[in-house]
Chain A
Amino acid sequence: MAEVVWGLATSHVPSIGAAMDRGKTEDPNWKALFDGYAPARAWLAEHRPDVAVVVYNDHANGIDLDVVPTFAIGTAEHYPVADEGFGRRPVPDVVGDADLSLHLLESLVDEGFDLTVFQELDVDHGLTVPLSVWTPDPGEAWPCPVVPLLVNVIQYPQPTAARCYALGQALGRAIRSYPEDQKVALLGTGGMSHQLAGARAGFINPEFDAMWMEAIETDPARLAALSREELIRQAGSEGIELIMWLIMRGAMDERITKVHSSYFVPASNTAAGIALFDNRAPQPA
């Protein structure tokens, strides 16, 4: 049977990808961010999964506003990297795992999560930047096939944090019921606090981010209880996308082990966070 092996929560800010694509990772404005990734990357290089589920949102690249799915899943064998308007990122296209996608879809629908299905999907920075955070030099191909799980976080009403957490729990059951012996990794993307428009643009809330970083490991139910209004107030109008971390967390065990975390301000207009968790319970020292 399949099992969840690790979960990586990370910001997916486009400028993080651009800094890598343009060789600016040693630039003084970026070095501390990438130094903060190093321990996670080293651990991840030793723990390669068979497949990864990436929870992300599109930003006007693969999906237009004429259809806004609250939750959706890709079921393709192949996901082209989107041209977001300035040429596509110089990274590999994404290979899918249609069999796993269809299994997850069926299990989740049976549990009452009526996902929209994408048979074709161009994936944008929301998905490719987290893959780059994990694997800075993918060469010809990313480390494993990917199942995209999409969440509407840009048009109100976003799904509630509680619903995201519940979806994650159902996702965990769906993964564990997959009959193949597969090691499955999870990526929860977005955040941390930020706001792009309005007089409050540039808003960063490090106290909230620190609380979130701690509670995502030890008390996710507390985060799942936050209302949309409270999330927008505390994390900013775009920081609400942190709800996607709860889908990753919900699919993991109750007790997990933190491998590494790091926090950095600013990645362009955003507070950037990374948190890597081993799905195995802490081992007694």
Chain B
Amino acid sequence: MSTDTPAGSRFDLPGTPVFDGQTSRRGLRMNKMFMSLRSEANRTRFLADEAGYCREFGLTPEQERAVLDRDWQAMIDLGGSIFYVYKLAVMDGRSMQYLGGVFTGMTEEEFVAAMRAGGRRDTGGRRDG
């Protein structure tokens, strides 16, 4: 049992994080912080003091570091839900294609090109077409 089971280990599906109950427990404070960024007033406060804002929401030091560094993969690994993490990305002017590139080791342009070519057909985390 652990609360630090790496994301994606629920099934034998490499490269596929499953946002399950344990993940959501780990990420709750951070995800609530992301959700708060829907309001302009909160975005302003966040940008004025990111670390202070994270502490207000009770993020762990690792989560705070991931947020400050914009380490998107770490945010997912530390319990972030992609729909919540996306709120921070939007605030930064980043797209879901940019995040897709980060998660797959591509630039945003490469990721967009892969989508326009019909999407990625890899299974089990391996590229096979």
Binding site for B on A (CB under 8 A): 29, 59-61, 64-66, 68, 82-86, 154-157, 193-206, 229, 232-233, 236-238, 265-266, 268-269, 271
Contacts and interface: CB of A to CB of B under 8 A. Distances in A.
15 contacts: A60-B81, A60-B83, A60-B84, A60-B87, A65-B35, A84-B38, A85-B38, A155-B19, A200-B15, A201-B100, A206-B119, A229-B13, A265-B115, A268-B96, A269-B100
A84 B37 CA distance: 9
A65 B23 CA distance: 12
Contacts of B51: none
Given A197-B76, A266-B115, 6 more contacts: A60-B83, A66-B28, A85-B37, A85-B43, A198-B7, A201-B104
A196 B99 contact: yes
B122 interface: yes
Given A65-B31, A202-B111, A202-B115, A197 B103 contact: yes
A116 B16 CA distance: 30
B52 interface: no
Contact of B19 (A82, A154, A206, A229): A154
Contacts of B115: 202, 204, 265-266, 268-269
Contacts of B32: 64-66
Nearest to B10: A156
Contact of B76 (A198, A233, A265): A198
Chain A binding surface SS class: loop
A32 to B, nearest CB: 11
A193 B31 CA distance: 25
Number of chain B interface residues as a range: 35 or more
A79 B76 CA distance: 31
Given A201-B100, A201-B103, A237 B17 contact: yes
Interface centre among A64, A66, A196, A206 (most CB of B within 10 A): A196
B61 interface: no
Given A83-B38, A85-B37, A85-B38, A156 B18 contact: yes
Nearest to B88: A85
B38 A61 contact: yes
Contacts of A198: 7-8, 15-17, 76, 103, 125
Contacts of B19: 154-156, 237
Nearest to B72: A197
Contacts of A156: 10, 18-21
A200 B122 contact: yes
A193 B120 CA distance: 11
A86 B90 contact: yes
Interface centre among A68, A201, A236 (most CB of B within 10 A): A201
Contacts of B39: 83
Contacts of A155: 19-21, 24, 81
Interface string B80-104: 0111111100110001110110011
B95 to A, nearest CB: 8
Interface string B59-84: 00000000000000000100001111
Contacts of B31: 60, 65
Given A156-B21, A204-B120, A269 B96 contact: yes
CB-based closest 6 A-B pairs = A204-B119, A199-B15, A200-B15, A156-B20, A202-B120, A266-B115
Interface string B26-58: 001001101101110001000000000000000
A149 B122 CA distance: 34
Given A155-B19, A156-B10, A202 B104 contact: yes
Contact of A265 (B13, B34, B87, B119): B119
